[in-house]
Amino acid sequence: MIELRLLLESALITCFVSLAGFSLGIPLGLLVAVTRLKRLPVITSVLAVYVSFIRSLPLLLFIMLFYFGLPTLGIDLNPYVAGILALALNNAAFASEIWRGAIANFALDQIEAAKAYGMTEQQTFWRITLPQIWRASIPPITSEITLLVKASPAIGIIGIDDLTRRASTLAASNYEPVRMLTIATLFYVIIILAITQIGRMVDRRSQRQYELV
């Protein structure tokens, strides 16, 4: 069935764009969180405004502003690059709060012990702090990527044939909206369940490794 093949292609597009945005957004969010906690005079304030702005703005509107606004600055991106970057910037703002919470709950005595042992600040972060805040952040990060996938239909506004856009297009052409949207729904359910299961597996494996240390 041609419709099923087209929907499968769009499901893969949804997965690719969401995963790319997530892969960029998570480390960017960590950078934002760490920088804000250092309380650098101007940079911290700018990042706080960025996080508040993104978190208060509908993703659809942000993508439109990002895609249609950049050409006014002489920056012309194709829809896929713009969509991925917009999702990454959106994801980074939310992920930064996850990282910031994990860092805030990190035991300070471990940092003091690392300093007493002679480790530098960078060594302490990469060898002690990051592995533990990563383990604590796996469940909320898993939830964040599922939210990103469910919010990804917003990229359709700039012409990307994601799963929702393709289902709507097919429904308008073959006059079978219920069937097309039902198939799209099943694809979304499969994607979300797969992400959730992978997140649980990573979490369990991380916990087992920690218990063996």
3-class SS string, the chain: CHHHHHHHHHHHHHHHHHHHHHHHHHHHHHHHHHHHHCCCHHHHHHHHHHHHHHHHCCHHHHHHHHHHHHHHHCCCCCHHHHHHHHHHHHHHHHHHHHHHHHHHCCCHHHHHHHHHHCCCHHHHHHHHHHHHHHHHHHHHHHHHHHHHHHHHHHHHHHCCCCHHHHHHHHHHHHCCHHHHHHHHHHHHHHHHHHHHHHHHHHHHHHHHHHHHC
pLDDT at 107 over 80: no
Average pLDDT over residues 73-83: 92
Average pLDDT over residues 7-24: 96
Token look-up 């960017």 returns: 28
pLDDT at 178 over 70: yes
pLDDT at 162 over 90: yes
pLDDT at 133 over 70: yes
What is the pTM assigned to this prediction? 0.89
The pair of structure tokens assigned to 59 is 């993703």
CATH code of the domain covering residue 181:
1.10.3720.10
pLDDT at 149 over 70: yes
Domain of 52 in residue numbering reads as 2-212
pLDDT at 210: 62
pLDDT at 99: 93
Tally of domains within the chain: 1
pLDDT at 22: 96
pLDDT at 208: 76
Average pLDDT over residues 101-105: 86
**Sign of torsion, CA 8 14 16 22?**
negative
Most confident of 8-12, 33-37, 71-75: 8-12
**Residue 95's pLDDT band (boundaries 50, 70, 90)?**
very high
What is the distance between the alpha carbons of residues 128 and 70, in angstroms, rounded to a whole number? 40
The pair of structure tokens assigned to 51 is 């996080």
What is the distance between the alpha carbons of residues 136 and 106, in angstroms, rounded to a whole number? 10
What is the distance between the alpha carbons of residues 74 and 64, in angstroms, rounded to a whole number? 16
Mean pLDDT, the chain, integer:
90
Average pLDDT over residues 3-8: 92
